[in-house]
């Protein structure tokens, strides 16, 4: 069945998380929402008012009491999906919500599929595809800044930006095409220089959006900070200081940590995962060798590296070589400052609780450098892929214009760039695109 054809049914689903809770909310949406619900909720008035709440007892078809509930009613055209919708707030037991759903299905509804409520909101023009996807980002958000960005997108911030680019691109295309049509008469509807200027500015706007995906990924997936260094320098002690708990084993025996040990914190609204690794040294012990191998691969996966050394011993030639080989952002941190005579550079002592702030401050500075809060960032790989493609096409069109390539060819690139923009917004779509977007959703959303 085509996705669009499913819209004829009235659907129902549990919209709150499954399990026991104070209340559970069941959503019913579609042309027969009221009619179906009335089979259970006979207390509903003939003509309920939109955005009003009705209290009463749901009954089975055999007149058995199901639960005392509140029903919020949303008239067609005034709901999230755009269809007539009811939200039934019942007591939060899976047994109760399960029975209500079964009764609804026996009264003409069918169980909703993943994201089907949001899908209908999109199909009924209540939101564009970016906004629909932002709901998923919002529901899945873990970090406060990620939620803030998703909310911005739900309110249409990102869509507005892309719509503006789309509008200007259409304007440029129209003038370029007009120039082709009137070229015989030697007329130009807009000068090529002006069009090039305009297209170059659109290209730079798109480039900014595309590059913001780097920040978006940090918001979505968080940052990984890895503590590496030689054996016994205090990496595990510092991990414990950072996390505020005894997560990793600490001992005076070099080579204590064998496997990766990690923990998470939120810093500046971003999820940060700290990873402690096995100290690096020449070793014949096969298990220790495996641990050191893991340290190396953890290093490759990290966004920021804390290279720890023992201040009382100083940075050895071997350690200097290790630092030089690190390609990620790396901060060299001297530990055991309590035992050191000289304390230059970043220095801490794992036994001083106040030094935790020094370490967290380093991560905070790293995050602040991305200036995430000030701008609209891409959170979604689909948006990134399409905007990236659109940007490349626009860049190519600008290049062709500078080289004096025929306007027909330039128009081809621009039209393709425009199509990618329209796919991001969901102005152009097919079942495959929609399947890909909505399969990520949970049921009831």
Ligand X SMILES: Nc1nc2c(ncn2[C@@H]2O[C@H](COP(=O)(O)OP(=O)(O)OP(=O)(O)O)[C@@H](O)[C@H]2O)c(=O)[nH]1
CA atoms 376, 377, 383, 388: torsion sign? positive
**Tokens, residue 247:** 């997560």
The residue number with the shortest CB distance to ligand X is 279
CB of 259 or CB of 435, closer to ligand X: 259
Integer distance in angstroms from the first to the last C-alpha of the chain? 21
CB of 152 or CB of 289, closer to Mg ion: 289
Q: What are the φ/ψ torsions at residue 328 (nearest 5 degrees)? A: -75, 170
Would you say how long the chain is, in residues?
445
Size of the site for ligand X (CB under 6 A): 22
User: Cβ of residue 259: shortest distance to ligand X, in angstroms?
Assistant: 10
- Near Mg ion by CB under 5 A: residue from 15, 72, 179, 236: 236
Q: How many CB atoms lie within 10 A of CB 394?
A: 28
Using rule CB under 6 A, residue 236 touches ligand X:
yes
CB of 309 or CB of 384, closer to ligand X: 309
203: helix, coil or strand?
helix
Strands 110-111 and 261-267: unpaired
Binding residues among 253-292 for Mg ion as defined by CB under 5 A = 256-257
Cβ atoms of 73 and 86 within 8 Å: the answer is yes
Distance between alpha carbon 350 and the CA centroid of its chain, in Å? 35
Using rule CB under 6 A, residue 235 touches ligand X:
yes
- Near ligand X by CB under 6 A: residue from 191, 339, 357, 406: 339
Binding residues among 347-366 for ligand X as defined by CB under 6 A = 349-351
328: helix, coil or strand?
coil
Partner interacting with residue 107 (select from Mg ion, ligand X, none; CB below 5-8 Å by kind): none
Residues of 212-245 as b/e, b for ≥16 C-beta within 10 angstroms? bbebbbbbbebbbbbbbbbbbbbbbbbbbbbbee
Q: How many CB atoms lie within 10 A of CB 246?
A: 11
Using rule CB under 5 A, residue 295 touches Mg ion:
no
User: Cβ of residue 427: shortest distance to Mg ion, in angstroms?
Assistant: 54
Size of the site for Mg ion (CB under 5 A): 3
**Tokens, residue 9:** 């049914």
CB of 8 or CB of 253, closer to Mg ion: 253
CB of 193 or CB of 252, closer to ligand X: 252
CB of 308 or CB of 437, closer to Mg ion: 308
Site of interaction with ligand X (CB under 6 A): 231-237, 250-252, 254-257, 279, 335-336, 338-339, 349-351
Site of interaction with Mg ion (CB under 5 A): 236, 256-257
């Amino acid at each position: 069945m085509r996705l669009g054809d499913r819209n004829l049914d009235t659907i129902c689903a549990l919209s709150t998380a499954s399990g026991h809770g104070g209340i559970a909310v069941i959503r019913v949406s579609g042309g027969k929402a009221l009619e179906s619900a009335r089979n259970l909720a006979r207390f509903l008035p003939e003509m309920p008012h939109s955005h009003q709440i009705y209290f009463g007892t749901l009954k089975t078809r055999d007149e058995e009491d199901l639960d005392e509930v509140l029903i919020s009613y949303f008239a067609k055209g005034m709901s999230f999906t755009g269809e007539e919708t009811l939200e039934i707030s019942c007591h939060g037991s899976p047994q109760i919500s399960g029975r209500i759903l079964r009764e609804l299905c026996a009264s003409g509804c069918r169980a909703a599929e993943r994201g089907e409520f949001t899908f209908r909101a999109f199909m009924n023009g209540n939101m564009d595809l970016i906004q629909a996807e932002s709901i998923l980002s919002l529901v899945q958000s873990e970090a406060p800044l990620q939620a803030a960005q998703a909310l911005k997108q739900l309110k249409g911030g990102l869509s507005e930006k892309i719509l503006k680019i789309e509008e200007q691109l259409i304007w440029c295309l129209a003038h370029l095409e007009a120039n082709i049509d009137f070229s015989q008469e030697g007329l130009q509807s807009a000068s090529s220089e002006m069009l090039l200027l305009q297209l170059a500015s659109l290209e730079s706007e798109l480039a900014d959006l595309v590059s913001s995906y780097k920040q978006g990924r940090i918001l979505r997936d968080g940052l990984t900070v890895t503590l590496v260094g030689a054996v016994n320098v205090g990496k595990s002690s510092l991990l414990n200081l950072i996390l505020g708990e005894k997560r990793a084993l600490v001992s005076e025996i070099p080579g204590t940590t064998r496997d990766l040990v990690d923990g998470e914190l939120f810093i500046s609204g971003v999820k940060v995962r700290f990873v402690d690794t096995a100290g690096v040294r020449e070793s014949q012990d096969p298990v220790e060798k495996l641990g050191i191998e893991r340290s190396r691969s953890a290093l490759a996966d990290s966004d920021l590296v804390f290279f720890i050394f023992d201040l009382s011993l100083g940075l050895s030639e071997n350690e200097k070589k290790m630092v030089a080989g690190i390609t990620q952002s790396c901060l060299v941190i001297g530990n055991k400052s309590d035992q050191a005579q000289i304390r230059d550079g970043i220095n801490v002592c794992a036994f001083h609780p106040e030094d935790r702030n020094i370490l967290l401050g380093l991560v905070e500075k790293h995050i602040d450098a991305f200036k995430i809060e000030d701008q609209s960032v891409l959170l979604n790989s689909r948006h990134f892929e399409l905007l990236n493609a659109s940007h490349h096409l626009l860049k190519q069109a600008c290049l062709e214009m500078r080289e004096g390539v025929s306007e027909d060819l330039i128009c081809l690139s621009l039209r393709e760039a425009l199509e990618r923009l329209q796919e991001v917004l969901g102005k152009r779509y097919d079942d495959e695109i929609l399947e890909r977007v909505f399969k990520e959703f949970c049921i009831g959303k």
